Chain A
């Protein structure tokens, strides 16, 4: 009979895996860390890279629930409209304009702020739901996997990410560890994905591009007042500049994952690596120790 020890409050319960540069190993680390930890404790993995969620490629689980997600956009009701242009003036994103005798709406630009509808003196705009994506929930033993997937053609990732985090808040008790596979870059989608995280792992590679985008990601995390540390993937490639930068800026490097052809081969075949490559299992152990994540099985 196994019992899980959970340590409350004093440990990080929501950990985001982010990067500046794309392709440095966010999904690789997220799925493997989640699966590794799920041997010891219940865990939630959420793929918030909604434009191209691919954590699911590595996890074959049972679909538990699936629901459409919508965002609200305005719809024009011509009859009461006096063409006063108030809506166009109030929209900060130029998503609604008056062109002569009609009101035109651009859903791709709309941020669902309701200003146009709420401030319309004639109630000539109503907010209506527009489907933007699908939220799926899978179970793989002790691991609960949430995938947020934006519909093809949808331009705005942020509302879908916000709804996925809202789903996590509502459906899981705060003492279950959550790992968030975040989108790349440093723009709105990343900020949405990490803003409610307790800790951010920035995964990078020791190349000039890796360093350049890491510095942007570090600046972003500092502005957001986030606790964060770095994991260097594909270690032994490139140069020492990432390490020098981290040392200079007092940024902890949690671990270094060696560049290894076997990892690439397994990963490209859609396989998990945590239990197949020893040095990588050890690197995951470093992360768990660094974050004091309990893995004790009594």
Chain B
């Protein structure tokens, strides 16, 4: 399963970005292989309009199963993620590692 965490940088120690559509990066963790990679979302992060749906489209293209973020996506992005069957967990903070551990421990809220 592939988990994407909205972040301000890349890697385990990157700070979580509480925003979904305007996050610069998504750190991607494959929890079966333990592999870590990232999605570059900078083009969408700086969009004038519709950052949310475009980011959600990019998430879907990368075959992500679960998104972890802070505040949660807005209505348009949530519609795309729901249509694609992608789970959304909100309330993440601190580093990517912290957010991943919180998710594993069931501390994050499913939206």
Give A residues with C-beta under 8 Å from B: 88, 91-95, 97-100, 102, 104, 106, 108-109
Q: Least Cβ distance of B11 to chain A in Å?
A: 27
What is the interface of chain B mostly: helix, strand, loop, or mixed?
A: helix
Q: Which residues of A contact B60 (CB under 8 A)?
A: 99-100
**Contact code string B53-79 (vs A, CB < 8 Å = 1, else 0):** 110110011000000000000001001
A93 to B52 Cα, complex, angstroms: 11
Chain B, residue nearest A106 (CB): B76
A202 to B61 Cα, complex, angstroms: 50
Asked whether, in the complex, the Cβ of A104 is within 8 Å of the Cβ of B49, the reply is no
**Which residue of A92, A100, A102 has the most chain B CB atoms within 10 A of its CB atom?**
A100
What is the interface of chain A mostly: helix, strand, loop, or mixed?
A: loop
Asked whether, in the complex, the Cβ of A94 is within 8 Å of the Cβ of B80, the reply is no
Chain B, residue nearest A88 (CB): B57
Count of chain A to chain B residue pairs whose CB atoms are closer than 8 Å in the complex: 45
A102-B83 CB under 8 A given contacts A93-B50, A95-B50, A109-B50: yes
A104-B80 CB under 8 A given contacts A98-B57, A99-B56, A99-B60: yes
**Which residue of A97, A98, A100 has the most chain B CB atoms within 10 A of its CB atom?**
A97
Q: Which residues of B contact A99 (CB under 8 A)?
A: 56-57, 60, 80, 83-84
Q: Which residues of B contact A102 (CB under 8 A)?
A: 83
A106-B53 CB under 8 A given contacts A97-B80, A99-B84: yes
Question: Which residues from 5 to 40 on chain B have a C-beta closer than 8 Å to any C-beta of chain A?
Answer: none
